[in-house]
Amino acid sequence: MMAGGAGWEGLGAGGRDPDPDPDPASAPAWALAPTPASTPASTPSLSLASESLQPLQDLTGDGGVRKEQLRPGTGQPVPPSASVAVRYSGYLGNWNKLFCSNGNSKYPRLMKLGKDITLWGLEIGLLSMTKGEAALFVLTPEYAYGQRGCPPSIPPNTTVLFKVEVLDFIDSEECDTFFELTCEQRDRLPLEKVLKVAATEREFGNYFFYKQCFKIAKDRYKRALSILGRSSSSKAEQSQINASKLLLFLNLSLTYLKLERADRALKYGELALEMDQGNAKALFRCGQACLYMREYSKSRDFLARAQCIQPFNRDINNELKKLARYYKEYMKVEKEMCCQMFDPLNSYG
């Protein structure tokens, strides 16, 4: 039983379950060509010139990539196989000429190291950072745009400066390896590895969900489900597969509610209930979906069952109040329609 009126604002169990760009394809990436800054950003107050208040960390040993930490992060450093979400601004001179930035993007997209981020010095810098960390970097031409530069934004043989903040990252090494395998090779993988790949795909889905990119989140959840399509003769292994599927069914049910596809939300909620009849969250999602479709009786049934399991859940109780209000309005409209139908008959009485 959940005490104290707790609610469900995210996707629930299993870690950070449901922070996406409305159009992820349009977000800039760090390739060899700089992306133009749409709006001049403010120049950092702390300079990486010789008057800097603290010595710069030499990440490469030859002075090619130097770093000054502005704010520490937490956890492990960004791994080489990660997809990262970062805020960045690139400058020329003594922080007085901005040549690229994604500072105006509300939800910076996830970018894959070595694929979307190909500026060598930046990749080295990111590998030294942790989640939440902010830092300044000085990149010599050998680690940036080379002897030729990148006209017209970057002159030849130019040292560039970057301010970077790591918002989040997901290590996708297991996924990258998995999807390079043939179907036969995937089937021979230990279940533990398959579950880890599915969990990573679900983590990607959660990231996009929090960024309100629900269509992409939905696709990642479904991709995770496809990975779990295998069956097992072992009851213990099948139980692990079903536990992973249950979380994905719940995530998909909520995601389809966000996409205003109540029929699909109901489908995945009911699939979750097939695995766990007493799952309050699944009952709640089904109740929400039925209310959206104006199936008031079914909605009441699902929500009442959820309330029996978690009587103090704020979201369930609020949804029941919402149902009562909607049903009252519905009956009022029905009554008015009936009166309009019979009024002409009464006039002949």
Q: What is the 3-state secondary structure (H, E, C) of the chain?
A: CCCCCCCCCCCCCCCCCCCCCCCHHHCCCCCCCCCCCCCCCCCCCCCCCCCCCCCCEECCCCCCEEEEEEECCEEEECCCCEEEEEEEEEEECCCCEEEEECCCCCCCCCEEECCCECCHHHHHHHCCCEECCEEEEEECHHHCCCCCCECCCECCCCCEEEEEEEEEEEECHHHHHHCCCCHHHHHCCCHHHHHHHHHHHHHHHHHHHHCCCHHHHHHHHHHHHHHCCCCCCCHHHHHHHHHHHHHHHHHHHHHHHHCCCHHHHHHHHHHHHHHCCCCHHHHHHHHHHHHHCCCHHHHHHHHHHHHHHCCCCHHHHHHHHHHHHHHHHHHHHHHHHHHHHHHHHHCCC
Please tell me the predicted confidence (pLDDT) of residue 319: 97
Within this chain, do residues 237 and 269 fall inside the same structural domain, yes or no? yes
Within this chain, do residues 153 and 204 fall inside the same structural domain, yes or no? no
Please tell me the predicted confidence (pLDDT) of residue 251: 98
Within this chain, do residues 199 and 156 fall inside the same structural domain, yes or no? no
Within this chain, do residues 194 and 320 fall inside the same structural domain, yes or no? yes
Tell me whether residue 252 is in a domain.
yes
Domain range for 215 is 190-335
Domain termination site, one of 171, 206, 224: 171
Cβ contact 217:20 at 8 Å: yes
Within this chain, do residues 198 and 304 fall inside the same structural domain, yes or no? yes
Question: What residues in the chain have per-residue pLDDT under 50?
Answer: 1-16, 19-53, 345, 349
Within this chain, do residues 122 and 208 fall inside the same structural domain, yes or no? no
Within this chain, do residues 142 and 210 fall inside the same structural domain, yes or no? no
Tell me whether residue 243 is in a domain.
yes
Tell me whether residue 210 is in a domain.
yes
Task: Please give the Cα distance from 349 to 52 (Å, whole number).
Answer: 95
Within this chain, do residues 232 and 323 fall inside the same structural domain, yes or no? yes
Please tell me the predicted confidence (pLDDT) of residue 339: 66
Task: Please give the Cα distance from 64 to 103 (Å, whole number).
Answer: 25
Long-range contacts of residues 325-333, Cβ cutoff 8 Å, at least 24 apart:
326/291, 326/294, 326/296, 327/296, 330/294, 330/296
Within this chain, do residues 307 and 206 fall inside the same structural domain, yes or no? yes
Domain termination site, one of 124, 143, 171: 171
Please tell me the predicted confidence (pLDDT) of residue 296: 94
Give the number of domains in the chain: 2
Question: What CATH number should be reported for the domain holding residue 194?
Answer: 1.25.40.10
Within this chain, do residues 167 and 206 fall inside the same structural domain, yes or no? no
Please tell me the predicted confidence (pLDDT) of residue 96: 82
Task: Please give the Cα distance from 189 to 170 (Å, whole number).
Answer: 22
Task: Please give the Cα distance from 64 to 141 (Å, whole number).
Answer: 8
Tell me whether residue 349 is in a domain.
no
Tell me whether residue 226 is in a domain.
yes
Domain termination site, one of 124, 142, 171: 171
Please tell me the predicted confidence (pLDDT) of residue 232: 80
Please tell me the predicted confidence (pLDDT) of residue 330: 72
Tell me whether residue 113 is in a domain.
yes
